[in-house]
Copies of this chain bind each other. A is one copy, B any other.
Amino acid sequence: MATLKQVAAHAEVSVQTVSNALNAPHRLRADTLERVNRSIELLNYRPNRNARSLRTSAVELIGYCVPNWPHQTHLVMDQFLHALCAAAERTGRHILLFTAPPGVDGMPTYDDLHARRMVDGFVLSQTETHDPRHGWLKDEGIPFVSFGRVWKESTQPGPWVDVDGATGSAIAVRHLYDTGRRRIAFLGWPKSSGLAEDRVAGWRTACKELGLPTNGMAVRCREDSIEEGALATARLLDSGRDLDGIVALSDVLALGALRELTARGIVPGRDVGVVGYDDSPLAEVVSPGLTSLRQPMDRIAEELITILTGDQQPAERLLLPELVIRGSSAPG
């Protein structure tokens, strides 16, 4: 029986091209595909289905691209990866890590991994505004699921799992309300972030429902740093607004709030309740401990894997964050 190599020699193409003709014909030019198919027929080549299914069944891998964005911190990435691996393993699969350039430049890497049958599909995360990956993978018919929505797209291509930031902020506001706070500020990021807009909207709605003031109570920080969180808190305090609660868009900003409050002799937890986002390792290393909205990593991972390994119906799962209560929001 003819081998892949003989077919390649006959068609005057590379072995990879023959493999593509068999596994990813859409990646070849029409004339190349025709030439390869003619050689396959003439040489009576039969792909070794047994070998392939052996491989496929022995190595069921899901691709995950390790992000490398210098200006973004991934304080809970180890939690996410552990949950994702564990969920994949419960279905007999594993996670294959890879690197790729950001944006559309990375797509050949995704395509290649899939065409070479190294992975069955992909889990995307760190989605960005106008993220090109979703539409591209959908068009190519490559299975994927996204942790996070592509913000600013009216309808997102493909299935996704995300955490409901608006409701998260509302949970934080209500918790501060229940512990006696009535003037609750919000520390956010610039308007351009869809995630930030979602969270600030939840804060505003919850405050209005509870009859709490919102005017001048939301500050946009220029970046996600302790310094910016402290500056924003200082601005709020200097403006004469008599705060007793702060919801911050990140644990890093919340740490800035804690620092500024403490520097002014205001005791976090007793005088002002503070809540952060993500329940990162930072939340536990400060004193008082920082109350924070935790992303339910185990459930997120479970849903991602279930969707990806299931029948690929359009699936959208919006999960609730969990409030982890610590000293920074002790009853006031």
Interface residues of A (CB under 8 A from B): 48, 50-51, 54-55, 58-59, 61, 64, 66-68, 73-75, 77-78, 81-82, 85-86, 89, 94-99, 116-118, 224-227, 230, 252, 259, 262-263, 281-282, 284-287
Contact = CB atoms under 8 A, between A and B. Distances in A.
Contacts of A286: 225-227
A265 to B, nearest CB: 10
Contact of A226 (B67, B68, B285): B285
A58 B94 contact: no
Given A58-B55, A96-B61, A287-B227, A66 B81 contact: yes
Given A51-B54, A74-B78, A77-B77, A66 B94 contact: no
12 contacts: A48-B50, A48-B51, A51-B55, A59-B59, A61-B96, A67-B82, A74-B78, A85-B98, A94-B97, A225-B286, A226-B287, A263-B263
Contacts of A224: 285
A59 B67 CA distance: 22
B95 A97 contact: yes
Contacts of A68: 78, 82
Contacts of A95: 96-98
A55 B287 CA distance: 53
A189 to B, nearest CB: 14
Contacts of A226: 285-287
B99 A89 contact: yes
Contact of A78 (B48, B67, B96, B262): B67
Contacts of A82: 66-68, 99
A72 B66 CA distance: 21
Contacts of A86: 99
B285 A225 contact: yes
A285 B94 contact: no
Contacts of A89: 98-99
Given A50-B51, A51-B51, A54-B48, A285 B98 contact: no
Contacts of A281: 73-75
